[in-house]
A and B are shown apart, each in its own frame.
Chain A
Amino acid sequence: MNTIILNGSPKGNSINSNSRIFAEEFIRNMKNPCEIRCIANADTKELARYAAGFDAIIIILPLYIHAMPGIVMKFIENMEPAATEDKYIGFIIQAGFMETAQERFVEAYFADLAKQLNYNYLGTVSKGEAAGIYMYPKMFKKVFRLLNDLGSAYEETNAFDKNIVKELGKPYELSKSILVILSIVNKIGLSNVGWHRELKKNNTFDKRLDKPFL
């Protein structure tokens, strides 16, 4: 199936774009890798017209405030309903929060959007705790392998492999045992080490709790 991948990150193709990394890993093992285009800085009207010429559109995006970044919604606003019944659309979300239940609101919207646009819905793949991927890629080898396999399977079957989707989506919710671990990690300050290192590097540690707009 002739598929276009749209990178929905406002960071576009930059080195610190996790969606770029996801897109590259998704197509890595394909025999005929899909074309990847960025929504950032594109003419969304023109890009929507171009994407409509493919059999399938897969949008890879970060989760911003429980949904797509504003630039992706601007792209969606320019999409026209398909005139034929053979168009497909799917989504791959990478998010900062650990549990993928955070994505349930936009997943429901994306399924509904596919209906509105007369596209067949491929589904939405969600991966949590992904914010650090560009900073610590070595820690995410398993995620990359799953994305490689997801892409290969998609090329073969024109569908998202359910088992891989399930694996990437773990944990869906925070279990009691995870919450206990997180409360200990929070209590001893481990969860903020990365933030505090960056704040100190920028000489803004003392200002981290500022309320500048009162």
Chain B
Amino acid sequence: MKTVIIKESESITIPNVTTFDLAQMAVKDCTGCWTCWWKTPGKCIYKDLDGFYHEYITSDKAIYFCKVTSGFVSGNLKTLFDRMIPLYLPYVTHSTGESMHAPRYDKYPDIEFYYDGEFESADSRQIFVDYINRVFYQFHSKTITIKAIEEFIAEVGEGA
């Protein structure tokens, strides 16, 4: 089973797994140009994520280790989400009773999403979890697990 890791937390290192360390890379912001939909279908005008796109779309599982920022994902991770739109088609389907972008690829990785940081309240945490669930539902991932990073460390061990 192929896995890809996207991380912001320095404390997590998993050897022998392709890892994109967002703490070390500033993802170029999406410009909303739609080049990836109508000029070079499936390809962003920027090339900085080409390696990521290949690893993500050919993986069975993507594991995110994200830092909670102002009760949400960081601007850098949000930009990564924005830049994932080339992996989907511009066409909109309504088969689920709501609008969704159609998939470009036949399958998308399952998601394990670990968050690192505190929330101001249980409601704030729920807002965050609901949002992450929705993102990967829209991204056509079939299985989505969202947990605090402490749960991962307890199961696997820090620096595992």
Contacts and interface: CB of A to CB of B under 8 A. Distances in A.
B57 A214 contact: yes
19 contacts: A11-B31, A64-B81, A65-B84, A65-B85, A67-B72, A76-B72, A99-B98, A109-B72, A109-B131, A113-B70, A113-B71, A174-B94, A174-B97, A204-B38, A204-B40, A208-B89, A212-B43, A212-B53, A214-B58
Nearest to B79: A70
Interface residues of B, number: 55
B45 to A, nearest CB: 12
Nearest to B50: A213
A98 interface: yes
Interface residues of A, number: 53
B123 A112 contact: yes
Interface of B: 27, 29-32, 37-43, 50, 53-54, 56-58, 69-76, 78-82, 84-85, 87, 89-94, 97-99, 104-105, 120, 123-124, 127-128, 130-131, 134-135, 138
Interface of A: 9-11, 62, 64-77, 79, 97-99, 101-102, 105-106, 108-109, 112-113, 115-116, 173-174, 179, 182-183, 186, 191-192, 195, 198-199, 202, 204, 207-214
Contacts of A73: 69-70, 72-75, 78-79
